[in-house]
Amino acid sequence: MTKMKLGVEEYIDSAHYLPGHESCGIVHGHTYKVEVVLEGEKKPSGMVIDFYDVKQTVRSTLKEYDHCMLNDILEYPSSENLCEHIYNRLSQQLDFPLSVKIWEGHGKWCQLSEID
């Protein structure tokens, strides 16, 4: 059977600083767009998974990162480390191959994926 991809996106607002970094070493904030894509086979119900269930899982996970200081969660909260942290949390909750893409504002992103 053919695999299908489905995705959701959410937004979080967070502050952080990158210790030792010349321009990002002071506290500043971003509105991050978080894209989560799952891959799976369509079930007899006609869905891979209900969008509602995916949104609830993603929102619940992202709540930890929204309106907070990311340095309280991650020692070095780069986009790469944030993406990896969110990916690891979601992969424990969603039983699908997945991809997580974090946009740090416009034009800058990081992606961790186990799907093509």
85 is in an annotated binding site: no
Active-site residue flag, 106: no
Question: Which entry of 24, 35, 68, 84 is annotated as an active-site residue?
Answer: 24
Q: Is residue 67 among the annotated active site residues?
A: yes
Distances (CA, A) of 69 to 53, 59, 88, 103: 27, 18, 19, 17
Contacts of residue 32, defined as CB under 8 A and 6 or more positions apart, other chains included, come to 11, 12, 13, 14, 65, 82, 102, 103, 104, 105
Of the residues 9, 21, 67, 114, only one is catalytic, namely 67
Any known ligand binding at 106?
no
Measure the CA–CA gap between 73 and 107, rounded to whole angstroms.
25
One of 39, 83, 85, 104 is an active-site residue; which one?
Answer: 104
Asked if residue 116 lies in contact with residue 98, where contact means CB atoms within 8 angstroms, the answer is: no
104 counts as catalytic:
yes
The binding site for Zn(2+) comprises 16, 28, 30
The binding site comprises 16, 28, 30
Residues designated catalytic: 24, 67, 104
